[in-house]
Amino acid sequence: MSLETKTEAREKKMKTIEIVGLVLVLLSLLGLIFYPGFIAGIFDAMVKKALPIIVNVTLTGTLATAVIISVMIGRILERCGFTDALMRIFIPLARVIKVNSAVLIPAIYNILGDINAAGRIGGPILVKAGTTKDEQKIAICTMVQSQQSFSTFMFGLMALTAVGARAFLVIVIAVFAPLVVVPWIMRLTIWRDTRAVSLEEMPSFTPTTAPLATVFGAAREGAELVFLLIIPAFAVVFSIIGGLEYIGVWKPIESGLTALLSALAIDPTTGMVSILASPTLAMSQLKDVAAGMSPKLVIGSFVLAASGFPLSVIFGQIPVIWSGATDLNHREAMGAAVIGAVMRLITAGVVALLLTPLLA
Protein backbone atom coordinates (compact mmCIF):
# COMPACT_ATOMS: atom_id res chain seq x y z
CA MET A 1 0.00 0.00 0.00
CA SER A 2 1.43 3.37 -0.98
CA LEU A 3 2.00 6.21 1.46
CA GLU A 4 -0.78 8.23 -0.18
CA THR A 5 -3.28 5.37 0.24
CA LYS A 6 -2.35 4.95 3.90
CA THR A 7 -2.85 8.66 4.50
CA GLU A 8 -6.30 8.59 2.93
CA ALA A 9 -7.26 5.56 5.02
CA ARG A 10 -6.23 7.36 8.16
CA GLU A 11 -8.31 10.43 7.30
CA LYS A 12 -11.10 10.90 9.77
CA LYS A 13 -14.56 10.60 8.24
CA MET A 14 -16.74 13.64 8.92
CA LYS A 15 -19.63 12.89 11.26
CA THR A 16 -23.15 14.21 10.82
CA ILE A 17 -22.88 16.41 13.90
CA GLU A 18 -19.69 17.95 12.49
CA ILE A 19 -21.55 18.83 9.30
CA VAL A 20 -24.25 20.46 11.43
CA GLY A 21 -21.57 22.40 13.27
CA LEU A 22 -19.98 23.62 10.05
CA VAL A 23 -23.38 24.77 8.77
CA LEU A 24 -23.93 26.68 12.02
CA VAL A 25 -20.49 28.28 11.75
CA LEU A 26 -21.24 29.33 8.19
CA LEU A 27 -24.66 30.73 9.13
CA SER A 28 -23.13 32.61 12.07
CA LEU A 29 -20.49 34.20 9.84
CA LEU A 30 -23.10 35.17 7.23
CA GLY A 31 -25.28 36.59 10.01
CA LEU A 32 -22.44 38.69 11.37
CA ILE A 33 -21.72 40.04 7.89
CA PHE A 34 -25.22 40.68 6.54
CA TYR A 35 -27.46 40.79 9.66
CA PRO A 36 -25.29 41.48 12.73
CA GLY A 37 -28.25 42.37 14.92
CA PHE A 38 -29.92 38.96 14.66
CA ILE A 39 -27.72 37.05 17.13
CA ALA A 40 -27.86 39.86 19.68
CA GLY A 41 -31.60 40.27 19.11
CA ILE A 42 -32.50 36.63 19.60
CA PHE A 43 -30.33 36.44 22.73
CA ASP A 44 -32.00 39.56 24.14
CA ALA A 45 -35.46 38.13 23.36
CA MET A 46 -34.61 34.87 25.15
CA VAL A 47 -33.34 36.72 28.23
CA LYS A 48 -36.35 39.04 28.39
CA LYS A 49 -38.78 36.11 28.12
CA ALA A 50 -37.14 34.07 30.86
CA LEU A 51 -36.29 36.95 33.23
CA PRO A 52 -39.83 37.74 34.55
CA ILE A 53 -40.55 34.09 35.28
CA ILE A 54 -37.25 33.42 37.01
CA VAL A 55 -37.03 36.69 38.97
CA ASN A 56 -40.57 38.03 39.45
CA VAL A 57 -42.42 34.72 39.79
CA THR A 58 -39.78 32.46 41.33
CA LEU A 59 -37.20 34.46 43.27
CA THR A 60 -39.04 37.60 44.42
CA GLY A 61 -42.52 36.07 44.02
CA THR A 62 -44.12 33.31 46.05
CA LEU A 63 -43.11 30.27 44.01
CA ALA A 64 -39.71 29.59 45.60
CA THR A 65 -41.11 29.95 49.13
CA ALA A 66 -44.14 27.81 48.25
CA VAL A 67 -41.96 25.01 46.89
CA ILE A 68 -39.69 24.98 49.94
CA ILE A 69 -42.65 24.93 52.32
CA SER A 70 -44.40 22.25 50.23
CA VAL A 71 -41.36 19.98 50.46
CA MET A 72 -41.23 20.61 54.22
CA ILE A 73 -44.92 19.72 54.63
CA GLY A 74 -44.53 16.63 52.45
CA ARG A 75 -41.54 15.35 54.40
CA ILE A 76 -43.24 16.06 57.74
CA LEU A 77 -46.34 14.16 56.60
CA GLU A 78 -44.13 11.31 55.42
CA ARG A 79 -42.32 11.25 58.78
CA CYS A 80 -45.69 11.12 60.57
CA GLY A 81 -46.81 7.99 58.71
CA PHE A 82 -48.91 9.71 56.05
CA THR A 83 -47.58 7.60 53.16
CA ASP A 84 -48.12 4.31 54.97
CA ALA A 85 -51.68 5.38 55.80
CA LEU A 86 -52.34 6.20 52.14
CA MET A 87 -51.06 2.78 51.15
CA ARG A 88 -53.55 1.09 53.45
CA ILE A 89 -56.37 3.18 51.99
CA PHE A 90 -55.52 2.76 48.31
CA ILE A 91 -54.21 -0.81 48.12
CA PRO A 92 -57.74 -2.36 47.96
CA LEU A 93 -58.75 0.10 45.24
CA ALA A 94 -55.49 -0.35 43.33
CA ARG A 95 -55.91 -4.14 43.39
CA VAL A 96 -59.26 -3.75 41.65
CA ILE A 97 -57.69 -1.81 38.76
CA LYS A 98 -54.60 -4.07 38.94
CA VAL A 99 -51.85 -1.52 39.52
CA ASN A 100 -49.38 -0.90 42.31
CA SER A 101 -51.10 1.43 44.79
CA ALA A 102 -47.94 3.58 44.95
CA VAL A 103 -48.84 5.10 41.55
CA LEU A 104 -51.45 7.24 43.33
CA ILE A 105 -49.03 8.69 45.89
CA PRO A 106 -47.49 11.48 43.73
CA ALA A 107 -50.97 12.71 42.75
CA ILE A 108 -52.00 12.89 46.42
CA TYR A 109 -48.88 14.84 47.36
CA ASN A 110 -49.51 17.09 44.36
CA ILE A 111 -53.06 17.89 45.53
CA LEU A 112 -51.81 18.59 49.05
CA GLY A 113 -48.73 20.57 48.10
CA ASP A 114 -46.71 21.12 44.94
CA ILE A 115 -46.02 19.14 41.76
CA ASN A 116 -42.26 19.54 42.16
CA ALA A 117 -42.34 18.29 45.73
CA ALA A 118 -44.64 15.46 44.63
CA GLY A 119 -42.01 14.26 42.19
CA ARG A 120 -39.16 14.67 44.63
CA ILE A 121 -41.01 12.74 47.37
CA GLY A 122 -43.20 10.42 45.32
CA GLY A 123 -40.50 9.28 42.88
CA PRO A 124 -38.35 7.45 45.44
CA ILE A 125 -41.51 5.97 47.00
CA LEU A 126 -42.40 4.42 43.63
CA VAL A 127 -38.94 2.89 43.33
CA LYS A 128 -39.05 1.57 46.89
CA ALA A 129 -42.49 0.07 46.28
CA GLY A 130 -41.10 -1.96 43.37
CA THR A 131 -43.17 -0.32 40.62
CA THR A 132 -42.43 -1.08 36.98
CA LYS A 133 -41.43 1.64 34.51
CA ASP A 134 -44.95 1.50 33.05
CA GLU A 135 -46.40 2.12 36.51
CA GLN A 136 -44.05 5.05 37.02
CA LYS A 137 -45.31 6.54 33.74
CA ILE A 138 -48.89 6.00 34.92
CA ALA A 139 -47.99 7.83 38.14
CA ILE A 140 -46.77 10.88 36.17
CA CYS A 141 -49.81 10.81 33.89
CA THR A 142 -52.13 10.64 36.92
CA MET A 143 -50.26 13.35 38.82
CA VAL A 144 -50.67 15.77 35.91
CA GLN A 145 -54.48 15.49 36.30
CA SER A 146 -54.54 17.43 39.58
CA GLN A 147 -53.72 21.02 40.48
CA GLN A 148 -50.15 21.75 41.53
CA SER A 149 -51.01 24.44 44.05
CA PHE A 150 -53.59 24.73 46.82
CA SER A 151 -54.02 28.40 45.93
CA THR A 152 -55.11 27.33 42.44
CA PHE A 153 -57.83 25.25 44.06
CA MET A 154 -59.03 28.09 46.32
CA PHE A 155 -59.11 30.73 43.56
CA GLY A 156 -60.89 28.27 41.28
CA LEU A 157 -63.44 27.52 43.98
CA MET A 158 -64.18 31.25 44.24
CA ALA A 159 -64.72 31.44 40.46
CA LEU A 160 -67.05 28.42 40.49
CA THR A 161 -69.06 29.96 43.33
CA ALA A 162 -69.36 33.24 41.40
CA VAL A 163 -71.25 31.50 38.55
CA GLY A 164 -73.35 29.30 40.83
CA ALA A 165 -71.71 26.04 39.80
CA ARG A 166 -72.04 22.96 41.96
CA ALA A 167 -68.49 23.15 43.22
CA PHE A 168 -68.54 19.81 45.04
CA LEU A 169 -69.53 17.87 41.92
CA VAL A 170 -66.99 19.74 39.78
CA ILE A 171 -64.21 18.94 42.26
CA VAL A 172 -65.19 15.27 42.51
CA ILE A 173 -65.24 14.88 38.72
CA ALA A 174 -62.22 17.06 37.94
CA VAL A 175 -59.87 16.33 40.86
CA PHE A 176 -60.69 13.03 42.56
CA ALA A 177 -62.21 10.83 39.83
CA PRO A 178 -59.00 10.94 37.70
CA LEU A 179 -57.09 9.28 40.55
CA VAL A 180 -58.93 6.07 39.66
CA VAL A 181 -60.00 6.55 36.05
CA VAL A 182 -56.62 7.54 34.59
CA PRO A 183 -54.57 4.57 35.95
CA TRP A 184 -57.33 2.21 34.81
CA ILE A 185 -57.42 3.65 31.27
CA MET A 186 -53.63 3.75 30.96
CA ARG A 187 -53.29 0.15 32.15
CA LEU A 188 -55.79 -1.03 29.53
CA THR A 189 -54.29 0.96 26.65
CA ILE A 190 -50.68 2.19 26.69
CA TRP A 191 -48.77 0.96 29.75
CA ARG A 192 -49.77 -2.63 30.53
CA ASP A 193 -46.80 -3.86 32.56
CA THR A 194 -48.55 -3.46 35.90
CA ARG A 195 -49.39 -5.64 38.86
CA ALA A 196 -51.36 -5.25 42.03
CA VAL A 197 -49.53 -5.88 45.30
CA SER A 198 -50.71 -6.85 48.74
CA LEU A 199 -50.09 -4.83 51.88
CA GLU A 200 -47.72 -7.54 53.11
CA GLU A 201 -45.46 -7.01 50.08
CA MET A 202 -45.12 -3.29 50.75
CA PRO A 203 -42.19 -1.94 52.77
CA SER A 204 -42.62 0.79 55.37
CA PHE A 205 -42.35 4.28 53.91
CA THR A 206 -42.05 6.16 57.20
CA PRO A 207 -38.45 7.33 57.76
CA THR A 208 -36.83 7.28 61.19
CA THR A 209 -35.09 10.64 60.86
CA ALA A 210 -35.14 12.89 63.94
CA PRO A 211 -37.91 15.55 63.85
CA LEU A 212 -35.63 18.60 63.63
CA ALA A 213 -33.41 16.92 61.05
CA THR A 214 -36.53 16.14 59.02
CA VAL A 215 -37.67 19.78 59.00
CA PHE A 216 -34.32 21.40 58.22
CA GLY A 217 -33.35 18.68 55.76
CA ALA A 218 -36.64 19.19 53.92
CA ALA A 219 -36.10 22.95 53.77
CA ARG A 220 -32.64 22.43 52.27
CA GLU A 221 -34.07 19.87 49.83
CA GLY A 222 -36.72 22.40 48.78
CA ALA A 223 -34.07 25.07 48.18
CA GLU A 224 -32.03 22.63 46.06
CA LEU A 225 -35.17 21.85 44.08
CA VAL A 226 -35.75 25.55 43.37
CA PHE A 227 -32.22 26.57 42.43
CA LEU A 228 -30.88 23.40 40.80
CA LEU A 229 -33.97 22.13 38.96
CA ILE A 230 -36.91 24.54 38.71
CA ILE A 231 -35.04 27.70 37.73
CA PRO A 232 -32.93 25.90 35.06
CA ALA A 233 -36.12 24.31 33.69
CA PHE A 234 -37.81 27.73 33.52
CA ALA A 235 -34.77 29.17 31.77
CA VAL A 236 -34.76 26.44 29.11
CA VAL A 237 -38.48 26.50 28.28
CA PHE A 238 -39.09 30.25 28.33
CA SER A 239 -35.86 31.16 26.55
CA ILE A 240 -36.87 28.80 23.73
CA ILE A 241 -40.30 30.46 23.57
CA GLY A 242 -38.59 33.87 23.49
CA GLY A 243 -36.37 32.77 20.61
CA LEU A 244 -39.35 31.40 18.68
CA GLU A 245 -41.21 34.67 19.26
CA TYR A 246 -38.26 36.64 17.88
CA ILE A 247 -38.13 34.69 14.63
CA GLY A 248 -41.92 34.80 14.26
CA VAL A 249 -42.67 31.11 14.78
CA TRP A 250 -44.40 31.30 18.16
CA LYS A 251 -47.31 33.56 17.13
CA PRO A 252 -49.00 30.94 14.88
CA ILE A 253 -48.57 28.34 17.63
CA GLU A 254 -50.17 30.69 20.16
CA SER A 255 -53.04 31.46 17.75
CA GLY A 256 -53.64 27.74 17.27
CA LEU A 257 -53.79 27.18 21.02
CA THR A 258 -56.29 30.03 21.41
CA ALA A 259 -58.54 28.55 18.73
CA LEU A 260 -58.33 25.11 20.35
CA LEU A 261 -59.28 26.46 23.78
CA SER A 262 -62.28 28.30 22.33
CA ALA A 263 -63.45 25.10 20.60
CA LEU A 264 -63.21 23.21 23.91
CA ALA A 265 -65.30 25.84 25.77
CA ILE A 266 -62.32 27.06 27.80
CA ASP A 267 -61.83 30.78 28.35
CA PRO A 268 -58.92 31.58 25.97
CA THR A 269 -57.45 34.35 28.12
CA THR A 270 -57.08 32.44 31.37
CA GLY A 271 -56.54 29.16 29.52
CA MET A 272 -53.44 30.55 27.82
CA VAL A 273 -52.17 31.82 31.17
CA SER A 274 -52.61 28.31 32.63
CA ILE A 275 -50.77 26.65 29.75
CA LEU A 276 -47.93 29.13 29.35
CA ALA A 277 -47.41 30.83 32.70
CA SER A 278 -49.25 29.82 35.88
CA PRO A 279 -52.60 28.12 36.66
CA THR A 280 -52.66 29.97 39.98
CA LEU A 281 -52.37 33.32 38.19
CA ALA A 282 -55.07 32.19 35.74
CA MET A 283 -57.53 31.35 38.53
CA SER A 284 -56.67 34.58 40.32
CA GLN A 285 -57.69 36.47 37.19
CA LEU A 286 -60.75 34.28 36.57
CA LYS A 287 -62.28 34.84 40.00
CA ASP A 288 -62.41 38.59 39.31
CA VAL A 289 -64.34 38.26 36.03
CA ALA A 290 -66.21 34.97 36.45
CA ALA A 291 -69.51 36.57 37.47
CA GLY A 292 -69.95 38.00 33.97
CA MET A 293 -68.96 34.83 32.10
CA SER A 294 -70.75 31.70 30.94
CA PRO A 295 -70.58 28.88 33.53
CA LYS A 296 -69.33 26.61 30.75
CA LEU A 297 -66.20 28.72 30.22
CA VAL A 298 -65.52 29.02 33.95
CA ILE A 299 -65.86 25.27 34.55
CA GLY A 300 -63.67 24.45 31.57
CA SER A 301 -61.02 26.92 32.69
CA PHE A 302 -61.02 25.53 36.24
CA VAL A 303 -60.60 21.93 35.05
CA LEU A 304 -57.70 22.96 32.81
CA ALA A 305 -56.02 24.93 35.61
CA ALA A 306 -56.38 21.99 38.02
CA SER A 307 -53.58 20.21 36.19
CA GLY A 308 -49.83 19.88 35.75
CA PHE A 309 -49.56 22.87 33.43
CA PRO A 310 -47.79 25.22 32.53
CA LEU A 311 -45.62 23.90 29.71
CA SER A 312 -42.46 24.63 31.67
CA VAL A 313 -43.51 21.91 34.12
CA ILE A 314 -44.44 19.41 31.39
CA PHE A 315 -41.30 19.88 29.28
CA GLY A 316 -38.84 21.01 31.94
CA GLN A 317 -39.43 20.28 35.59
CA ILE A 318 -41.09 16.85 35.38
CA PRO A 319 -38.42 15.30 33.10
CA VAL A 320 -35.59 16.71 35.21
CA ILE A 321 -37.03 15.75 38.61
CA TRP A 322 -38.46 12.35 37.68
CA SER A 323 -35.44 11.17 35.71
CA GLY A 324 -33.36 11.75 38.82
CA ALA A 325 -35.83 10.15 41.26
CA THR A 326 -37.12 7.10 39.32
CA ASP A 327 -36.05 4.53 36.73
CA LEU A 328 -37.29 6.72 33.87
CA ASN A 329 -35.10 8.80 31.58
CA HIS A 330 -35.90 12.35 30.44
CA ARG A 331 -37.76 11.30 27.30
CA GLU A 332 -39.90 8.69 29.07
CA ALA A 333 -40.88 11.08 31.85
CA MET A 334 -41.66 13.86 29.37
CA GLY A 335 -43.71 11.49 27.19
CA ALA A 336 -45.87 10.46 30.15
CA ALA A 337 -46.34 14.11 31.16
CA VAL A 338 -47.35 15.12 27.62
CA ILE A 339 -49.90 12.30 27.41
CA GLY A 340 -51.30 13.36 30.78
CA ALA A 341 -51.50 17.01 29.68
CA VAL A 342 -53.35 16.08 26.47
CA MET A 343 -55.78 13.96 28.50
CA ARG A 344 -56.37 16.90 30.84
CA LEU A 345 -57.06 19.26 27.96
CA ILE A 346 -59.59 16.79 26.52
CA THR A 347 -61.14 16.27 29.96
CA ALA A 348 -61.62 20.02 30.40
CA GLY A 349 -63.41 20.21 27.05
CA VAL A 350 -65.63 17.19 27.76
CA VAL A 351 -66.63 18.47 31.20
CA ALA A 352 -67.32 21.99 29.91
CA LEU A 353 -69.22 20.95 26.77
CA LEU A 354 -71.15 17.93 27.98
CA LEU A 355 -71.48 18.10 31.77
CA THR A 356 -72.09 21.81 32.41
CA PRO A 357 -75.90 21.37 32.54
CA LEU A 358 -75.42 18.95 35.44
CA LEU A 359 -72.81 21.06 37.19
CA ALA A 360 -74.23 24.61 36.95
Give per-residue pLDDT as tens, 125-159: 888 888 899 999 999 999 999 877 666 777 888 88
pTM of the model: 0.77
- State which amino acid sits at residue 154: M
Mean of the pLDDT values across residues 316-328? 88
Q: What percent of the chain has pLDDT over 70?
A: 93
87, 205 Cβ separation under 8 angstroms: yes
10: exposed, middle or buried (Cβ count in 10 Å: 0-12, 13-18, 19+)? exposed
CA dist 42 and 29 (Å) reads 16
List all residues 6 or more positions away from 311 whose beta carbon is below 8 Å from its beta carbon.
237, 275, 276
Q: What percent of the chain has pLDDT over 90?
A: 19
Q: What is the DSSP string of 8-27?
A: HHHSPPPPHHHHHHHHHHHH
How many residues does this entry show for the chain? 360
161: exposed, middle or buried (Cβ count in 10 Å: 0-12, 13-18, 19+)? middle
Domain ranges of the chain: 63-359
Helix axes 330-354, 295-305, angle to 10 degrees: 160
203 cis-preceded (ω within 30 degrees of 0): no
For 105, 222, 228, 265, 280, the CA distances from 214, given in Å and listed in that order, are 20, 12, 20, 45, 29
List all residues 6 or more positions away from 231 whose beta carbon is below 8 Å from its beta carbon.
54, 58, 59
Query: Regarding predicted confidence, which is higher, 313 or 31?
Result: 313
Largest CA distance in the chain: 90
Number of other residues whose CB lies within 10 A of the CB of residue 316? 23
219: exposed, middle or buried (Cβ count in 10 Å: 0-12, 13-18, 19+)? middle
| Range name among 246-250, 343-347, 355-359 with the lowest pLDDT average | 355-359
150, 118 Cβ separation under 8 angstroms: no
